[in-house]
Structure 1
């Protein structure tokens, strides 16, 4: 399989991975042949890229740290939780714990899989899939940080519910985008961190530490964050972790109206903000566990050749294995560069 920008998908292409709605329902299943109607619908839903089958890449597998079933379970649990909040009821803490325990188990069993899979999200409700992805990435970073399962559960619960306070924010504000909010709108938006803290705390079945993840995920180590403007020593480790993966997921998926960035550019943004906004050691650890160039994407090499990333080098994520398809605008016999061994070659650009 390989990833393809939606504008380049053609009638008859076959889906290599299913596409889900924001609450985990299958929109289009794996193996579906794309029609003009399906392609138009995907564009209207705001999906920018999909995975398609390609005979030249039948051997290429895009690994995910968690199974599709685990993601759907977490999405459904989170949807139920937000529905409860909107109707004035308490969150079912036991259901949330069961979901995050599945995430933790899958992440332990993934044996160091890099953050690699690109989400195929609809724009109608970015919040739920965003929160699930933040939960998965935070758990992976927690494992890399050698947290035990008990501590991982608090981290994962807080990560899954980190934005639950946004259920109190009007949709028109969420759709507008953070950088375009007026003063009053920003004040309303920034209350979501404290609202989330109170929602989780009232549940009774979830730890106060998990509640503080929601409270602190917009704090910054230099004290410029919100809601309290606290600095590094006063920000909990889990708050620091979720702050990093929250921004990374927003950058690569374009939450709140923003345009998505390729992962390698998102990684550069995180590095640029480390030490000021984010804990430097945590950013460095996270980037060791991120596929800078995810498997399945098309790239242009410094040689001018065009190919697809087909495998990862986990020791150096910035140097993947690339299978070349084109040279000087013509198809060539496929060949591969392992960029750890082919040290003079580098990726010049990511193509959609």
Structure 2
């Protein structure tokens, strides 16, 4: 699978991922060969590029859950983009609360884990895709923590608007999120104050949202800018958004910055208990797949292998089938774990693990 920029698309290339319009209608399915007319049409969507299958590459599996996930993301980003621009102009938002409720309905009521698919982002759509993903993760975490619906709604609304202040910044700062100098940080803080004022008068948000935003902004400053190692005291609700924010930022794919793997991101969050509540990080781990069966991994002994069983008690210690000699490593066994650990994971370009499920069952029977 390759990522091809819009200007480099050629007639006959096969799509690796479906393309939906802002209403969620499927326009081009996977494995579709794009035409000259199709390229012209797709360019009008404002996309940075497309995932393309290589000439002899078979079509990878895509579950209905994953297809719906991508459809919902596409629809929601269009909706959120309009509302955040209305919000920052002190205009009435149209569907901000409705979007939050839809997110809670879809992802705040799930019993099982989901495969949280990331996608490459451009400077034009990073803020909107990031805010949406933070809201979805916040809904998942809130569910695991058994937070009631009114509180969850405030948390998800806060996640949707937590970065809206960046729309008030100059273009050179709009997509910068860390490493500000003092002058830049002053501009960022000024824009945050103005954004909070806009949120405060918006009829679709609440006073609780503005309070959560204030806490989150203090946390973001400590994480990415001031770094005094004196992390501010924040509520569980604010910690949910901050944890989701950090996880998405660490694992997202951007053209100008490589992501880290999900397990590396989780390890980073776990290493900073003052910044990220242990119970919130645990709820995140229980909400999404980190090291699921079917995932290829790199082991600390230099070998590569396949996860064949998760470890529900400690995600870092699954059962792994080594590729070298088909040896099974049970990392849940303390003796084995002292010798071998998961170093990192191997992924497809769209950050999704792909394996034939029947083949996986055969490995499990070895």
Q: TM-score higher than 0.5 here?
A: yes
- The residue number in structure 2 matching 1:161 is 161
CA contact (8 A) 1:158 1:212 kept: no
1:1-352 alignment runs, 5 A limit = 6=3, 15-18=15-18, 29-33=29-33, 58=61, 61=63, 67-85=69-87, 87-92=89-94, 95-114=95-114, 116-179=116-179, 181-220=180-219, 233=233, 235-253=234-252, 258-275=257-274, 277-293=275-291, 298-301=296-299, 306=304, 316-319=314-317, 327=324, 346-351=341-346
CA contact (8 A) 1:103 1:136 kept: yes
| Shift of residue 282, structure 1, vs aligned partner | 2.0
Quote the Cα distance in structure 2 between the aligned partners of 1:161 and 1:188. 18
CA contact (8 A) 1:174 1:256 kept: no
How has the CA–CA distance of structure 1 residues 248 and 349 changed in structure 2, closer, same or farther, with 3 Å as cutoff? closer
How has the CA–CA distance of structure 1 residues 126 and 51 changed in structure 2, closer, same or farther, with 3 Å as cutoff? farther
Q: Deviations over 1:30-78 (max 9, x none)?
A: 333589x99xx9xxx77798899976964x7495597344323422221
Instruction: Structure 1: state its 5+ residue gaps.
Output: 329-334
Larger-gyration structure (1/2) = 2
CA contact (8 A) 2:298 2:305 kept: yes
Quote the Cα distance in structure 2 between the aligned partners of 1:81 and 1:56. 36
In structure 2, the residue corresponding to 1:217 is in which secondary structure? Answer: helix
CA contact (8 A) 2:107 2:139 kept: yes
Stretch deviating more after TM superposition (189-198 or 165-174):
189-198
User: For this pair of structures, how many residues does the alignment match?
Assistant: 329
In structure 2, the residue corresponding to 1:116 is in which secondary structure? Answer: coil
| Shift of residue 177, structure 1, vs aligned partner | 4.9
Please provide the CA RMSD for this pair. 4.7
Instruction: Structure 2: state its 5+ residue gaps.
Output: 5-9, 348-366
Quote the Cα distance in structure 1 between the aligned partners of 2:148 and 2:53. 35
| Shift of residue 197, structure 1, vs aligned partner | 1.9
How has the CA–CA distance of structure 1 residues 109 and 157 changed in structure 2, closer, same or farther, with 3 Å as cutoff? same
| Shift of residue 318, structure 1, vs aligned partner | 3.3
Taking structure 2 as the reference length, what is the TM-score of the superposition?
A: 0.69
| Shift of residue 159, structure 1, vs aligned partner | 1.0
Taking structure 1 as the reference length, what is the TM-score of the superposition?
A: 0.72
CA contact (8 A) 1:66 1:136 kept: no
In structure 1, the residue corresponding to 2:30 is in which secondary structure? Answer: coil
CA contact (8 A) 2:120 2:255 kept: no
How has the CA–CA distance of structure 1 residues 211 and 63 changed in structure 2, closer, same or farther, with 3 Å as cutoff? same
Q: Deviations over 1:1-44 (max 9, x none)?
A: xxx5749xxx9885553367999898964333589x99xx9xxx
How has the CA–CA distance of structure 1 residues 193 and 105 changed in structure 2, closer, same or farther, with 3 Å as cutoff? same
In structure 2, the residue corresponding to 1:300 is in which secondary structure? Answer: strand
CA contact (8 A) 1:78 1:128 kept: yes
How has the CA–CA distance of structure 1 residues 308 and 170 changed in structure 2, closer, same or farther, with 3 Å as cutoff? farther
